[in-house]
Amino acid sequence: MTLTPDFYSYPQTELASAELDGDWVQLGWPDGLTLRAHRFWLTENTPGRGFDRTSRESIIDPSAIADQSRLSFADVSKDGSLHLTWVDGEQAMLHPGWLRHVADGKHRPGSYLPTRQQWDTSVISEPPTTNGSRVLEDSAVMYHWLSDLARYGVARMTQTPTDRSFVKNLAAKIGPLRSTNFGSTFTVEAKVERDSTAYTGLNLGQHTDLPTRETPPGFQFLHCVENTVAGGWSRMTDGEAIVAELIEHHPEAYAALTDLHWIFFNRSPDCDHRWSGPMIDHGGPDQPLTLRAFYPVRAFPDMAEGDIPRAYAAMKVFSDLAHDDRFQMRFPFTPGDIVGFDNRRVLHGRDAFAPSEGSRVLRGMYIDQDEVYSTLRVLGRSLA
Ligand SMILES: [Fe+2]
């Protein structure tokens, strides 16, 4: 079997044709799909010549790539692989299934991840739920839960252990924690000495955490270890659905929310994080949506004076939609529940509760999207 420049297994999707055309090789499959590949790129992806057989990483420094000899011939081998011959006499095979996955676009960052599904409360009225009692032992449980998390931006497990170290044990199976000024993990409960509005029994309006950062944390996880209060229900809203609603019905508010910047600033005796950005940040072409929505740390308008009234008006439209029952789900926390959510996509909030009634203790952590998606791809590969 021809070695591929990665650790996936590919079917032998046999090539129908391979033709050398100057610096290019034109590839074709029986179903009509084609791929035009440059000789430098093919050389970089040739076992031994272009990539290291152990690490599977490229070994040709860009300054040396132009010195690579030209191809003298390209054809299809008996088993349907790409057979290349260089003018220096070296010959090599490239795996047709690996080439096919590029032709199919399956090499892109969204590959091996579930398709994101936009939701309102007519689609899901509570988080998709998995029994998590065996998540630390059974990677299929982890895969199922993380798949829902990637798809909907929110997913719950029930019946997990209620010890305070569970979040760290779970993180050990997913990836490195994203540490913040609240620590590598944190505890959400009513506190007298507090550095966040979260540490009260107050209602918390729909928001995303840490817009004070250049890149706000990707996923947040809240694990309920104690809950004896009646209120304090959790609330989630899909930001993608809000963005779609704004584009369709409130274009002026949408323009203000995407164009006008606010400075987000955490007011703390011990740290000073600041970032300026729009509330709806679409980033670059391949970057996911980032919402910057947390009024406790939204500090200064960073826009022309004349834009300030429409910035506030747009924010009200945004906030009204985020709290509308059409878009906002509400659910209680039971000890043993852990809810994960995409902190840059899904707005979260909490109903008020009375700390005098009892205790409500959530253990929380952040893990960036890169880590969650990498784990999801690797689990998918090993379970396949
Ligand atoms: Fe929060």
**161 part of a folded domain:** yes
Query: pLDDT band for position 368 (50/70/90)?
Result: very high
Residue-by-residue DSSP string for 208-274: -S-TTSSS--SEEEEEEEEE--S---EEEEEHHHHHHHHHHH-HHHHHHHHH-EEEEE---SS---E
Strands of 91-94's sheet in order across? 71-76, 82-86, 91-94
* Digit-coded pLDDT (tens) for 296-318: 899 899 999 999 999 999 999 99
Q: Residue 209 C-alpha to ligand 1 middle, in angstroms?
A: 5
> Parallel, antiparallel, or unpaired: how do β-strands 280-281 and 290-291 relate?
antiparallel
Q: Residue 348 C-alpha to ligand 1 middle, in angstroms?
A: 6
Average pLDDT, the chain: 94
**2 part of a folded domain:** no
**212 part of a folded domain:** yes
Q: Which pTM was predicted?
A: 0.91
Indicate whether 65 pLDDT > 90. no
Do 65 and 182 lie in one domain? The reply is no
**112 part of a folded domain:** no
Q: Residue 350 C-alpha to ligand 1 middle, in angstroms?
A: 9
**φ and ψ at 265, to 5 degrees?**
-150, 125
Select from 68, 85, 103 the last residue of a domain: 103
Q: Tell me, what's the pLDDT at 129?
A: 98
* Digit-coded pLDDT (tens) for 23-47: 999 999 999 999 999 999 999 999 9
**4 part of a folded domain:** no
Pick 25 or 355 by higher pLDDT: 25
Residue-by-residue DSSP string for 146-204: HHHHHHHSEEEEES---STTHHHHHHHHH-----BTTBSEEEES--SS-SSGGGSSS-E
Q: Residue 71 C-alpha to ligand 1 middle, in angstroms?
A: 57
- Which residue reads 């129908």 in tokens? 16
Q: Tell me, what's the pLDDT at 223?
A: 98
* Digit-coded pLDDT (tens) for 196-254: 777 888 899 999 999 999 999 999 999 999 999 989 999 999 999 999 999 999 999 99
**1 part of a folded domain:** no
Q: Residue 250 C-alpha to ligand 1 middle, in angstroms?
A: 26
Q: Residue 349 C-alpha to ligand 1 middle, in angstroms?
A: 7
Q: Residue 129 C-alpha to ligand 1 middle, in angstroms?
A: 21
Indicate whether 322 pLDDT > 90. yes
Do 286 and 335 lie in one domain? The reply is yes
Q: Residue 344 C-alpha to ligand 1 middle, in angstroms?
A: 11
Query: pLDDT band for position 68 (50/70/90)?
Result: confident
**250 part of a folded domain:** yes
Q: Residue 123 C-alpha to ligand 1 middle, in angstroms?
A: 24
Residue 30 buriedness (CB in 10 A; 0-12 / 13-18 / 19+):
exposed
Do 247 and 203 lie in one domain? The reply is yes
**110 part of a folded domain:** no
Do 94 and 133 lie in one domain? The reply is no
* Digit-coded pLDDT (tens) for 133-178: 999 999 999 999 999 999 999 999 999 999 999 999 999 999 999 9
Do 174 and 85 lie in one domain? The reply is no
Q: Residue 265 C-alpha to ligand 1 middle, in angstroms?
A: 15
Of the chain, the percentage scoring pLDDT greater than 90 comes to: 86
Q: What is the CATH number of the domain that holds 52?
A: 3.30.2020.30
Number of domains the chain contains = 2
Q: Residue 340 C-alpha to ligand 1 middle, in angstroms?
A: 12
Q: Could you list the residue range(s) of the whole structural domain that residue 187 is in?
A: 129-383
Q: Residue 262 C-alpha to ligand 1 middle, in angstroms?
A: 18
Q: What is the CATH number of the domain that holds 139?
A: 3.60.130.10
Q: Residue 212 C-alpha to ligand 1 middle, in angstroms?
A: 13
Q: Residue 161 C-alpha to ligand 1 middle, in angstroms?
A: 23
Select from 86, 103, 120 the last residue of a domain: 103
Q: Residue 207 C-alpha to ligand 1 middle, in angstroms?
A: 6
Stretch 263-272: mean pLDDT: 90
Select from 68, 103, 138 the last residue of a domain: 103
Do 258 and 293 lie in one domain? The reply is yes
